Chain A
Amino acid sequence: MTVLLSVQGLTKQFGGLQALTQITFDLPQGQILGLIGPNGAGKTTLFNVINGVYHPEVGRIIFRDKDVTGMKSYDLAHMGMARTHQIVRPLNELTVRENVMVGACFGRENHNLGKAAGIADEVLGFVGLDSRADQMAGSLNVAQKKRLEMARALAAHPYLLLLDEVLAGLNPSEIDGMVQTVRKIREQGITIIMIEHLMKAMMNVSDRIIVLDYGEQIADGTPHEIANNPRVIEAYLGDSSLANQLLEEE
């Protein structure tokens, strides 16, 4: 298995705040890596650093055997990295099709408008937005906007897809639909890192999970290992042994 993305000792600070500390992992091609952690753990910051929105103080990012530390997001997009945003960022005054065409035109494959329109229609069919193609993106509801984010990212035909909470704010049937979509994306050979709060969906869909807490990587393993890791339980539920101790003293 070849390594698609290698993150080595990544550290990011905002003023005095240590947002990420020494994050290190290798991501083999074709894997779905889940990224979990309490609010403020640094998950989206990690995406922003991998994606070139922020530059790390320390550490290196190797993408497709090339050191991409400090590169701009558009350079990474051209190299085959695409992402969705936790808070959706549709291009409101453009149609849904045009939104997706931006991804196809300026992403890895650098298509012309005609070819991009074809890809856009194909991808919109895949995420189930084909009937909305000529609508303004601003007129979509939240679930549709999340799908639009996904469609834009997929239209670039990326090697690596960063999904930031695509399930948040969706109702249970929409979640099932989205989980199916994520699985189908993986079948196309796209490697995925996803941030999610919904444990059940995450345990289902990920091959491997990394847990962040206060910017530190506290666990890395299969969903089963993670579910039984005491440090993870502590991060989410507080210190379990201390809780037990207190109960006994009562």
Chain B
Amino acid sequence: MLAWSTVRERWTGFVGSFVALTLGVGVLTTALVVFVSAQPAVPERLAGAAVVVQSPAGGEDAEAYVEYVPWSAARAEELAASLRAIDGVAAAVPDRSFYAQLVRDGRPVGDPPAGDPIGHGWSTAALAPYALVDGAAPAAADEVALDAAYGLAPGATAAVLTAIGPREMRVSGTVDGPGIYVSDASARALAPGVRAIGLVLSPGAAPATVAAAARTVVGAAGAVVAGDARTALEPEAVTRVRWLGTQLLTVMIVLAAFATVFVMASTAALNAYQRRRELALLRAIGATPRQTRRLLLGEALAVGVVSAAAGALLGVLAAPLLGDLLVRAELEPAGFAPRPSLLAVGPAVVTGVLVAVAGAWVAARRAARVRPLEALREAAVDKHVMTRPRWVFGVLFGLAGLALAVGTAADDGDSAMTMAIFSALTLIVGCTLLAPVLIPPALRALTYPLRRSATGEVVRESAGAAIRRTAATAGPILLTVGFATLILGMVKTMSPAFGSEDARALGVDAVVTASGTPGLSDAAVAALPGDVLSGLSTQVFVAGAPVDALGVVPGAVPVRGDAGALTGDTAVVADPRWRAGDTLLLTFADGEAVPLRVAASVEPGTLTTPLLLPRDLVRAHDPSALTMTAYVRGAPPAAMTGDPGVLAQDPAAYAANDDEDALVWLFVLVMVGMSVGYTSIAVANTLVMATGDRRRDFRVLRLSGATNRQILRMVGTETALVVLFGTAFGALVALPALLGIRSSLAELTGSAVRLVLPWPELAVVVAACTGLALGAALLATRRTLHRAQPR
């Protein structure tokens, strides 16, 4: 009863905790809902195939995704024929997919990812199944059936873009599902290789029985999947996008959880400290230490339950927005829609309640030890702020943070980023724990210029005396500035490292990339003026292992490295596994195996792909291969504005406006903005709580002849000092991790990496912190002064 009454009455003291926890649980819920929803799904266009036969799995590619070695057209037909003979199989359809895109009014429609193309043979429509809405199936070579959503009626002419270039086709019919469908004969030409054969079952046939029969038919030539196992059919491009999104969501979840715990712990400690008089009174009139502890925990539970519930609601409502943002930033596959589940909301709510109670736990243990006598005493100066555990943990966290930063520097793989983040977070915790030790000398240094003025003296002394208040305000600022510096600096330092070194090394005048399409078609490349250096991107398999390859014309090679030795049926390699004179048996995208002699071997690192092949050979075996980037010598970007699917930039602009970077940057800014918002609540909460407590001080100052204006100026200066302290240490804690990232990158790229700090964005973060802190402190002071007129 007492706990609830206190919460109800002192709600101003709890409103900060409530808002902080609500937002914390909200962010956590949103991130978790999205995270949990982002599970592999059976591709919609194969949903109607109860059993699917996949081509054999090859090795993992550079990013550890399993690639599947395609069957050749002949092999696929042969397999399909034997599968069709199985009892219960109504149809066995080789799934043929190729790059195709509708062009309307000169603009490509949509932006299908390269790894999940929307061009298919007509018979695959039966695997979804999608049905004709109007018209007929495509039969002639120049006929196409389109998604009805495009709005083209049968009989109309459609411009369809493929890897070769745009082509006028006649719309034979419209379909009630996504995709561009050509006749099976045309599809065989556009996508000879097959990676999956879908089995449509007769009514009443059991998938498990058919799958077992299919396994005996296929043997080692492939794998049979049915039911939920069909999620393995998810295109690798989709999986990759999901993985990226998951990485960022993980960071977001870790940060949200960390910030919530951090803010709640400091709020709870300050709350208990400020109420020591009330607690001491309770102790004096007969509350045992256990009862006092229960009171504080009960309050925390009440606040925790209410705000966790509110946060969960908020989070569920916000989840679709985050999902949408992720899809736009290409961090989740198109069509991704988060679905709230107990699996996501439950942990978020439990975490919220636990954080509230755990934050209060430590504070309550301390508060329960309040001697009843303290009700009668005036505590003006903070003593014994540094306890032994605080020392021990502060030093431990500090050392662990530095060790992680060193670990970051030594790491040359994917975990460098994670290590850097944990390094900064641990240093932040260490710094916050040690703040009572760090504050006095830092304040003396910062207030040196103020030593002569009277208000300066009061400011200095009161900020130094009320170490608890100063630490509680500086903590969240330290967290925000530290986090912002780390994340912003990390992304900015990393992106130029993976940027356009090729463009600079090649000394070109323009860099041409695709815009609105996954890559440039042959026609688009051919239309470029000047000397064009370009290559067709494809993937081949060598003894089952996937290898990225580039189909090039000798003399126009878009990478650093000598390809002069390349002739009709040879390869140039940049991979220590192979040497000049070796013969490689390459399996191409069409499933055909071709032996090639290695004409030359170059130093790995001078080619951005490990394998250069003759362009004509690549085109012959991969009709869907696209040109990702074309470099142009001898013509300015302005001369290349003709084709709408083409984006021509000078090399500097190309380096600066990397499309993907911009989206990642947007996402990072959203995260930083979120954390600034979160901190601001914590800071405002602390300042409002602490200022109300200073009414007596203000009254004394007024009686000593200070004007309201002087008091406001004093509080303002004090707040600015605290912000300055938080900013300085925030920047400091991020530095080891950033330096670690830099040396890790330098190691990885073999060249010096510049540490880039985005000053404008950081300035905005610091300005926002300062503005919020000043606003909260001054408003609270004015309100308190109003109530504390001298009598």
Whether A and B are associated in the same complex: the answer reads no
Chain B residues packing against A (C-beta within 8 Å): none
Chain A residues packing against B (C-beta within 8 Å): none
